[in-house]
Amino acid sequence: MMDGVAASDKMRVLLFSFFSLCSGSITVIFGCFDSVEMGGGSLTYFTSLAGLAAAATTTAAMAPAGAAADFFKMPLCGRSFRLEEASIDDMQKAMGNGTVTAVQLVECYAQRVLQTDDYINSLLEFNPDALDIAANLDRERRAGKVRGPMHGIPFTVKENIGTKDKMETTAGSWALLGSRVPRDAFVVKKLREAGGVLLGKATLSEWADMRSNNYSEGYSARGGQARSPYNFTVNPGGSSSGSAIGVAANAVAVSLGTETDGSVINPAMRNSVVGFKPTVGLTSRAGVVPETEHQDTVGTFGRSVRDAVYTLDAIYGKDQRDNYTLAQQSPRGGYTQFLTNKRALRGAAFGLPWQCFWRHADPEQLRQLTALLDLIKEAGATIINGTEITDYETIVSPDWWDWDWGTRRGYPNESEYTVVAVDFYNNINIYLSELDNTDIRSLEDIVQYNYDNDGTEGGNPWPLGNPAFYSGQDGFLASLATKGIQDETYWQALEFTQTKTRKGIDDALNYKGKKLNGLLVPPAVGQSYQISAQAGYPIITLPAGIHSATGMPFGLAILQTAWAESELIKFGSAIEDLQKTTAGNQYKRSLPTWEGYKKKPIPLLNIYEGSD
């Protein structure tokens, strides 16, 4: 109970930060809420603890009388600022002219979290320092100092990205609760220095999907089940689930996620936001709970390409604690300079790997995506069909995303999973060795913890353990069996997966001696981003449509070669501009519909619309 009002554990975490600042009376510099009008109107201030607690708890628990979209309607921020779908540029303009402050943006996004999180569960932990950080940045602005486009902008990070503050870094597992990281992850440090306000930690699939091979996407023991605001009953995409969901639901401006194989692109595509996965080595992994050094990367989520790129510009760079970054090829002046509009499509040429990926898409997705391709051609671009990945018959699974496809066809020395299993054993042990205040020092310790806490952590397969971890911890056990030994099979698998996929993409990008501006692919067909992941190459996905059967979004993605982020930004922003400025075009980002908002199934239905 809190001032006589029951509150969920998640609500207590959120409210504590406000209560600790307000102490029963208003603190002028931070401005806590007096009442929260969830159906619209402006945000006001509160003078008692009961004001926020009652408003937030009542709103989260009440049964909607009208349509779901009306129930989740977003109020104005301050007296007049429309925060819903606001871009970073919109927020900067509003802060620049005094319409809102960074403190108010934090308050308004906190209000949105209170309104939605009992439903979608996008935020695992609220940063109790967020208002202090925002207030300091407001003081800087008043003194004439603006650090850049991220100044005062609230962001979240996936909960496997380390922060040296009052928050936890556990990868969603109870096993690491209370452990302390030695420092902020490099990308967090950079984003703080750029003026971003860390709002909190986003929910995720536990251990970034490494622990289990049959599981409920978006679930972790510590964070619970994240749900897409487009449909609460089906796979929301992962493992950076909460990062994508929070941005999609307008519960935060932008977010950071991590990807080994699809964990940025998949949830972005399934929640109608932009997802940008850079070349391995462009963004440091230091301070991030690892999976495999050969494929892990930190990516960005935004409601627009520009917002995702502003965030990327803030986090990329060389880091002595991640030697992969020392070889990066990045432009002087950052990546924002490559943002364009639809005019850039005139004379552009794109490849379409039909046999590799497009033929696996279902008819409804093909109909909508080909209509978008027609728009791109009408804007002056050439799209060349049949630009296939070399040896796709061997390296691309004919069924679906399958990171053990090599083993399944009889060649573990050609399998991505062979590499990941060995790398995880070694990489996680190195990560754990730097933590303080924990007895968890090895993968063996994690596995034993899951057995000892079977009901929550699902050490055993269902019907023992936890239904969200249907196959138990088979991913961990597969890694444990390797003991991290880099034997001949391992080295052959690493050589095969990297060399074949890199050559395959590079060959497809060079059509009859002409270098193409990208390969257009349907990311709902998971093999598309899987080939990019194995290569360590960059990819961007744009919102492109909605599947009628489930209401779940899908996207259009662009593949490129190593360090070609500038090309992805140039043509991603051009296509997005075309989507937004073409009268009557429906193939673009759409607002959540909150389908099934009263339903709470676990596990979620593992439906992948748009793939055969």
Asked if residues 530 and 608 have their Cβ atoms less than 8 Å apart, the reply is no
| Per-residue confidence (pLDDT) for residue 589, from 0 to 100 | 98
How are beta strands 197-202 and 123-126 bridged, if at all?
antiparallel
Average pLDDT over residues 426-431: 98
Q: What is the DSSP letter of 337?
A: G
Q: What confidence tens digit (pLDDT) does each residue in 335-376 have?
A: 999 999 999 999 999 999 999 999 999 999 999 999 999 999
> Cα(295)–Cα(290) distance, rounded to whole angstroms?
10
| Per-residue confidence (pLDDT) for residue 305, from 0 to 100 | 99
Q: Which of 520, 276, 553, 515 is nearest to 377 (CA)?
A: 520
pTM: 0.91
> Cα(371)–Cα(362) distance, rounded to whole angstroms?
14
Q: What is the mean pLDDT of the chain?
A: 90
> Cα(582)–Cα(489) distance, rounded to whole angstroms?
52
For every residue of 122-139, DSSP letters joined together read -EEEE-TTHHHHHHHHHH
Query: Is the predicted pLDDT of residue 141 greater than 80, yes or no?
Result: yes
Largest CA distance in the chain: 73
How are beta strands 297-302 and 219-220 bridged, if at all?
unpaired
Structure tokens at 529: 């981003």
Asked if residues 100 and 63 have their Cβ atoms less than 8 Å apart, the reply is no
Confidence of residue 8 (pLDDT cuts 50, 70, 90): very low
| Per-residue confidence (pLDDT) for residue 525, from 0 to 100 | 97
Average pLDDT over residues 295-318: 98
Query: Is the predicted pLDDT of residue 35 greater than 60, yes or no?
Result: no
In three-state secondary structure terms, 242 is: helix
Q: Which of 246, 234, 164, 154 is nearest to 194 (CA)?
A: 154
> Cα(608)–Cα(524) distance, rounded to whole angstroms?
7
Residues with a known catalytic role: 158, 239, 263
> Cα(140)–Cα(296) distance, rounded to whole angstroms?
35
| Per-residue confidence (pLDDT) for residue 607, from 0 to 100 | 73
Structure tokens at 562: 């190593």
For every residue of 344-385, DSSP letters joined together read GGTT-EEEE-TTTTGGGB-HHHHHHHHHHHHHHHHTT-EEEE
Query: Is the predicted pLDDT of residue 45 greater than 80, yes or no?
Result: no
Omega within 30 of 0 (cis) for the link into 228: no
Q: What confidence tens digit (pLDDT) does each residue in 82-100 have?
A: 999 999 999 999 999 999 9
Query: Is the predicted pLDDT of residue 31 greater than 70, yes or no?
Result: no
| Per-residue confidence (pLDDT) for residue 331, from 0 to 100 | 95
From 66-75, 155-164, 309-318, the region with the lowest mean pLDDT? 66-75
| Per-residue confidence (pLDDT) for residue 608, from 0 to 100 | 61
Q: What is the DSSP letter of 540?
A: E
Element (H, E) at 452: helix 443-452
From 211-225, 541-555, 598-612, the region with the lowest mean pLDDT? 598-612
For residue 381, report the phi and psi dihedrals to the nearest 5 degrees.
-90, 155
**Exposure string over 507-535, b if 16+ CB within 10 A, otherwise e:** ebbeeeeeebbbbbbbbbbbbbbbbbbbb
Q: What is the DSSP letter of 342?
A: G
* Number of Cβ within a 10 Å radius of residue 359: 12
Average pLDDT over residues 144-155: 98
> Cα(264)–Cα(529) distance, rounded to whole angstroms?
10
All domains of the chain in start order, with CATH: 97-335+343-402+491-581 (3.90.1300.10), 404-490 (no CATH)
Query: Is the predicted pLDDT of residue 408 greater than 50, yes or no?
Result: yes
| Per-residue confidence (pLDDT) for residue 43, from 0 to 100 | 34
| Per-residue confidence (pLDDT) for residue 68, from 0 to 100 | 76
Q: What confidence tens digit (pLDDT) does each residue in 492-530 have?
A: 999 999 999 999 999 999 999 999 999 999 999 999 999
| Percent of the chain whose pLDDT exceeds 90 | 87
Q: What confidence tens digit (pLDDT) does each residue in 250-286 have?
A: 999 999 999 999 999 999 999 999 999 999 999 999 9
E strands, 16-170, are: 123-126, 154-158
Find the DSSP H helices in 483-522.
488-509
| Per-residue confidence (pLDDT) for residue 220, from 0 to 100 | 98
For residue 283, report the phi and psi dihedrals to the nearest 5 degrees.
-115, 135
Q: What is the DSSP letter of 297?
A: E
Q: What confidence tens digit (pLDDT) does each residue in 437-456 have?
A: 999 999 999 999 999 999 99
> Cα(164)–Cα(180) distance, rounded to whole angstroms?
7
Query: Is the predicted pLDDT of residue 44 greater than 50, yes or no?
Result: no
> Which amino acid, residue 15?
L
Asked if residues 571 and 517 have their Cβ atoms less than 8 Å apart, the reply is yes
Asked if residues 5 and 50 have their Cβ atoms less than 8 Å apart, the reply is yes
- Burial class (CB within 10 angstroms; exposed 0-12, middle 13-18, buried 19+) of 129: middle
